[in-house]
Amino acid sequence: MKKNERANLHPQSMCPAFGGLRVLTRIEGARVCLVADQGCLYGLTFVSHFYAARRSILAPELMNVQISGGTMIDDVRAAIAQIAEDPAVTFIPVVSTCVAETAGIAEELLPKKAGNAIVQLVRLPAFQIKSHPEAKDVAVSTLLGRFADFGEPKREKSLLVVGEIFPVDAMAIGSVLQRIGVESVIVVPAANAEDYVEAGKTQACTILHPFYERTAALLEENGVRIVSGNPVGANASAQWIEQVGEALALDMETVHRVAAEEKEKAAEVIKKFNNLSGKVIVAGYEGNELPVVRLLLEAGLEVPYASTSIARTSLGEEDHQLLSMLGTEIRYRKYLEEDMQAVLDYEPDLVIGTTSLDSFAKEQGIPAIYYTNNISSRPVFFAAGAGTVLGMVAGLLGRKEVFRKMKEYFTTLP
């Protein structure tokens, strides 16, 4: 390594198992049996209570003595039996994590049912599933594989929506789908296990986030048509509506009309921000960063660098091509050190990043906000989403001078 060159030491993602736990703990009647060592159990219980469903997570005691002593599978079975004593528990996801022995747990040695509960193994080792968004995909596809009723015929004009979205976005999507003639909608990840059963009967599926690759493949194998992309920005909103219309063979005259209306509404909102100028770096770890970059570019902002924790996927390929063509350097499976280097190289006016990157940017006197708290907790779809995101960015771009003065103040203190 050359002098002054940074080593890439810090991959940016929460523990992958967290993504799976977020999906699994939210299901009514589910109680997770976590097959992990004590350290993972401590951390995962904490983040799950903080960011997921505040449900108890149970685990067999797995110290070295059980893991290496050959009693692990008996201990797991005993923990499952104990969880199943509660008649209110209808689903026991058995989540296995990183330690080689727990990751390689033999599924055939686990019961399929215990008490009133269905038992299902979900493997989430970080050495195989590199980021928490991808673990959501593993959890959703495992649930669909176990529960979905993929029988034919499919329900006419029914759509499956895959992706965790902000409640206002769900309402906006619902209203547009109704206007184009969609008759029933199922959304996963869901709180109701029955939704995973019904998901298999839908005619088409819109995958809103590009990391649901296993889920898309499973659905496609079982005759569900896949629509990729999402309604972020004017052009993409219209395109998404048209694609859903085609996939469900809806009345295309109505579909074209609604698509044109939504495109115009979003374009008008974006036009209001046309006076915006500045350089923004987007560096989250949620896996849904590229559509946000697309919106910023559509509003005329410069985005020289964007990064994410997930791998490049075929579902996100259209965004990749478009953004690359418009000059954004895209980094997948990024490291903190790469993001920090981008801040130094591009000297942005605003960073929408991870907490550690934000601290670094602020030390340089650059305004920075946390992607997860500020983007994932706001609507982003259609005109309303464009207005909310661009309004927030406009406010922050105006604060560069404040940050510069703050840095100057602290660095010139005697």
Residue 295: closest CA among 357, 387, 370: 387
Residues paired with 121 in a beta bridge: 94
Q: Which is nearer to ligand SF4, 40 or 190 (CB)?
A: 40
Residue 385: closest CA among 265, 225, 212: 265
What does the block give as tokens for 332?
Answer: 């997948």
3-state class (DSSP) for residue 104 = coil
What helix, strand, coil percent values describe the chain, rounded to 5? Answer: 50, 15, 35
Provide the H-helix boundaries in 248-335: 252-272, 289-298, 317-325
Q: Tell me the closest approach of the beta carbon of residue 80 to ligand SF4, in angstroms.
A: 19
Count other Cβ atoms within 10 Å, centred on residue 29.
16
Q: Tell me the closest approach of the beta carbon of residue 46 to ligand SF4, in angstroms.
A: 11
Q: What is the CA radius of gyration of the chain?
A: 23
Q: Tell me the closest approach of the beta carbon of residue 34 to ligand SF4, in angstroms.
A: 9
Q: Are the C-beta atoms of residues 163 and 19 closer than 8 Å to each other?
A: no
Q: Which is nearer to ligand SF4, 95 or 216 (CB)?
A: 95
Q: Tell me the closest approach of the beta carbon of residue 345 to ligand SF4, in angstroms.
A: 30
Q: Which is nearer to ligand SF4, 15 or 336 (CB)?
A: 15
Q: Which is nearer to ligand SF4, 36 or 118 (CB)?
A: 36
Q: Which is nearer to ligand SF4, 17 or 250 (CB)?
A: 17
Question: Cα dihedral angle (160, 165, 166, 168), rounded to 10 degrees?
Answer: -30
3-state class (DSSP) for residue 167 = helix
Q: Rounded to an integer, what distance in angstroms lies between the CA atom of residue 118 and that of residue 134? A: 24
Q: Which is nearer to ligand SF4, 61 or 317 (CB)?
A: 61
Q: Which is nearer to ligand SF4, 15 or 290 (CB)?
A: 15
DSSP conformation class of 401: H
Q: Rounded to an integer, what distance in angstroms lies between the CA atom of residue 290 and that of residue 343? A: 18
Residue with tokens 């060159």: 5
Q: Rounded to an integer, what distance in angstroms lies between the CA atom of residue 131 and that of residue 308? A: 10
Q: Which is nearer to ligand SF4, 97 or 120 (CB)?
A: 97
Residue 93: closest CA among 190, 195, 198, 20: 20
Q: Which is nearer to ligand SF4, 15 or 224 (CB)?
A: 15
Q: Tell me the closest approach of the beta carbon of residue 27 to ligand SF4, in angstroms.
A: 20
For 307, 326, 361, the CA distances from 330, given in Å and listed in that order, are 6, 11, 19
Q: Tell me the closest approach of the beta carbon of residue 119 to ligand SF4, in angstroms.
A: 20
Q: Site residues (CB under 6 A) for ligand SF4?
A: 15, 17, 36, 40, 43, 97-98, 126
